[in-house]
A and B are shown apart, each in its own frame.
Chain A
Amino acid sequence: MNSAISVRHLTKDFRIGIRGLKLRAVDDLSLEIPRGQVYGLLGPNGCGKSTTLKVVLGLVSATAGEISILGEPSATSAARRRTGFLPEAPYFHKFLTGRELVRYCAQLSGVAASDLDAAVEDALGLAAMKEAAGRPIGTYSKGMLQRIGFAQAVVHDPELIILDEPTAGVDPVGSASIGRMIHAMRDKGKTVVLCSHLLGQVEQVCDRVAIMDRGKLVLEGAVEDVLSRRDRHVMTIEAMTPAARSAAEAALEAHGAKITSVTHPRRSLEDLFRELVTGSRDA
């Protein structure tokens, strides 16, 4: 019962063409996604991660295997009531305003009429969309579409939130904003499943990751565990002179250690961009 999502031996085949050729999208996948964590599902395009999410949500039927969401069999109405979903490149009815869309989704998700207004305003506030909520969705930018999509996914206060490529096509500032929303959800004790191939962002926001390739699971574990190399160490040194470096090398060699590379630390281009662009917007 500790798993938010439990996938056991999931296989999904698609029949293609008139001859019904079999295309295996997911091959004997087993996953346990723990509750209260941000979980990244990674992999190249076509590796089966979106298909896995669709099967989990009951949008596509499994060829074989068992899936449960929060202890309930997946694809049941009860399971979906506790789940929020933001699909890849979401498209919503352009004539609705952002507030109307979130309200519509809240009603479909079974939010009680007495709680409706508060739930809608909370979700819009969380997605930083209150100011633009009165505008038709047709006038929204890509980043705003993703944010309103996030608001509709969380309006019914789900325990599990599934985000399929939430930052695809969004600029780094918008991407960072979505990252903050994900952290806010984790702080509330929600489970967030993030499907993406933007590795930098996944590394920043996820607690655990699974990497898929050609429909199979190739790696799974805590981000810290899978990324750290226990046999290597990094030290950041200030004001190092050639003499200090020689002395350090000699001291390390005396203990059987060896310096393999010395470089200057770099900040990422994304950090630089966010610093410059957010800074200029704040000014």
Chain B
Amino acid sequence: MKDSLRRTLWISRVTFLEAVRQRFFAFLLVLSAAMVLSSVSLRVFDFGHGELKFIADFGFGGMFFFGSVLAVVMTAQLFFSEIDNKTALTLLAKPLSRPEFLLGKFFGAWAVLGVFVLVLASLQGVVLWAREQELIAAAEQAGRIPTTFSIVGLCQLVLLQWLRLGVVIAIVLAISALARTFLFTVVVGSLAVVAGQLQWIAQDAFLRPTDSPAYAAFLWISTRLIPNLQQFNLADALVLGSSAVEEGALIAVCLSGLAYLAAYLTLGSLIFRQREI
């Protein structure tokens, strides 16, 4: 068990080093950071909502979108570079099991996404804090109650976003284990992310009565096979306190995310064990 963890760790380490050296990662990180910073100058377009909400929506939107792109494309690229360049042959001829290889890829990619989320969230926190101080000073002068944001909520959101991206990476790895090409994996992985964002529609439909058992079965399978990625988007409630988060809801979301993550990694490992390299 200890040896297995160690081998997984070495694969993760090299995967992380390979990923952070990619220009694609640097490009998306810079682009997302620019989006967070530009939210300050674009806040005049807040459409009547609070300024902090606009800044938060803009920044977290960038983190969500570019994080998803990075999770899909980078994970597929890291997997297929090992297969296409045949480095996987060298590694898998050693006493390294295929689940260890896949888990190593997962943790390496997840660590990179952790850096991505942490950098962007830190930047977002600084931007929100700076604007909050200005708004507090202006509110005190006007005798109004100032708008504030929660640092603890921001930290919770970072963890939720990281977990959400972990689920996406696990799905993409399961697809990669089955797929033959990088392009197929990216297309199907992207569709899976979109389906995850829209999964709540299937949940709503499933709760409504229907006469068709086939349709009900389809909805039942869809709502269990596809994770609800919307459940991780609690930025307004956690960071801006727009609504109360029910007690235990955060834990339920985290457990659901971890369950999907484990299920897709297990599925990916089972498929990858049968794959001929």
Measured CB to CB, the residues of A under 8 A from B are 14, 54, 57-61, 77-78, 80-81, 83, 85-87, 89-93, 95-96, 104-105, 107-110, 149, 152, 162
Docked complex Cα distance between A81 and B90 (Å)? 13
Docked complex Cα distance between A89 and B6 (Å)? 28
Which B residues, 9 to 66, have Cβ-Cβ distances below 8 Å to chain A?
Answer: 10-11, 14, 17-18, 21
Judging by beta carbons under 8 Å apart, are A59 and B14 in contact?
A: no
Judging by beta carbons under 8 Å apart, are A77 and B6 in contact?
A: no
Cβ–Cβ < 8 Å partners of B97 in chain A: 77
B180 at interface, CB cutoff 8 A: no
Judging by beta carbons under 8 Å apart, are A60 and B10 in contact?
A: no
B95 at interface, CB cutoff 8 A: yes
Cβ–Cβ < 8 Å partners of B93 in chain A: 57-59, 80, 83, 85, 87, 162
The stretch from B81-89, B115-123, B200-208, B225-233 touching chain A is B81-89
Judging by beta carbons under 8 Å apart, are B6 and A152 in contact?
A: no
Docked complex Cα distance between A78 and B97 (Å)? 11
9 smallest beta-carbon distances between A and B, as pairs:
A85-B93, A91-B85, A77-B95, A81-B95, A87-B89, A80-B95, A60-B276, A108-B94, A57-B93
Docked complex Cα distance between A93 and B11 (Å)? 12
Judging by beta carbons under 8 Å apart, are A110 and B3 in contact?
A: yes
Closest partner residue, chain B, to A109 (CB atom): B94
Size bracket, chain B contacts: 20 to 34
B92 at interface, CB cutoff 8 A: yes
Cβ–Cβ < 8 Å partners of B95 in chain A: 77-78, 80-81, 108-110
B277 at interface, CB cutoff 8 A: yes
Q: How far is the CB of A16 from chain B (nearest CB, A)?
A: 12
Selected contact of A87 from candidates B6, B90, B96, B276, CB within 8 Å: B90
Which B residues, 244 to 273, have Cβ-Cβ distances below 8 Å to chain A?
Answer: none
Cβ–Cβ < 8 Å partners of B10 in chain A: 104, 107-108
Cβ–Cβ < 8 Å partners of B18 in chain A: 93, 95
Q: How far is the CB of B186 from chain A (nearest CB, A)?
A: 22
Judging by beta carbons under 8 Å apart, are B276 and A108 in contact?
A: no
Judging by beta carbons under 8 Å apart, are B276 and A104 in contact?
A: no
Selected contact of B91 from candidates A86, A108, A110, CB within 8 Å: A108
Docked complex Cα distance between A88 and B253 (Å)? 47
Cβ–Cβ < 8 Å partners of B92 in chain A: 58-59
Given pairs A61-B274, A61-B276, A80-B95, 19 additional interface contacts (CB within 8 A): A57-B93, A58-B93, A59-B93, A59-B276, A83-B93, A85-B94, A89-B86, A91-B85, A93-B14, A95-B17, A95-B18, A107-B7, A107-B10, A108-B10, A108-B91, A108-B95, A108-B96, A149-B90, A162-B93
Judging by beta carbons under 8 Å apart, are B14 and A96 in contact?
A: yes
Cβ–Cβ < 8 Å partners of A78 in chain B: 95
Closest partner residue, chain A, to B101 (CB atom): A108
Judging by beta carbons under 8 Å apart, are A85 and B3 in contact?
A: no
Closest partner residue, chain A, to B276 (CB atom): A60
Cβ–Cβ < 8 Å partners of B87 in chain A: 91-93
Docked complex Cα distance between A262 and B277 (Å)? 52
Closest partner residue, chain A, to B88 (CB atom): A59
Judging by beta carbons under 8 Å apart, are B90 and A90 in contact?
A: yes
Which B residues, 68 to 105, have Cβ-Cβ distances below 8 Å to chain A?
Answer: 85-87, 89-97
Judging by beta carbons under 8 Å apart, are B6 and A92 in contact?
A: no
Contacts A95-B17, A104-B14 given; indicate if A60 touches B94 (C-beta within 8 A).
no
Closest partner residue, chain A, to B13 (CB atom): A104
Q: How far is the CB of B227 from chain A (nearest CB, A)?
A: 31
Closest partner residue, chain A, to B274 (CB atom): A61
Cβ–Cβ < 8 Å partners of A108 in chain B: 7, 10-11, 91, 94-96
Q: How far is the CB of B25 from chain A (nearest CB, A)?
A: 13
Closest partner residue, chain B, to A86 (CB atom): B90
Q: How far is the CB of A111 from chain B (nearest CB, A)?
A: 11
Q: How far is the CB of B13 from chain A (nearest CB, A)?
A: 8
Docked complex Cα distance between A149 and B89 (Å)? 12
Cβ–Cβ < 8 Å partners of A77 in chain B: 95, 97
Cβ–Cβ < 8 Å partners of A57 in chain B: 93
Cβ–Cβ < 8 Å partners of A110 in chain B: 3, 95
Docked complex Cα distance between A96 and B87 (Å)? 13
Docked complex Cα distance between A60 and B17 (Å)? 29
Docked complex Cα distance between A152 and B21 (Å)? 23
Closest partner residue, chain B, to A96 (CB atom): B14
Judging by beta carbons under 8 Å apart, are A92 and B90 in contact?
A: yes
Docked complex Cα distance between A92 and B7 (Å)? 18
Judging by beta carbons under 8 Å apart, are A59 and B94 in contact?
A: no
Judging by beta carbons under 8 Å apart, are A87 and B86 in contact?
A: yes
Judging by beta carbons under 8 Å apart, are B86 and A91 in contact?
A: yes
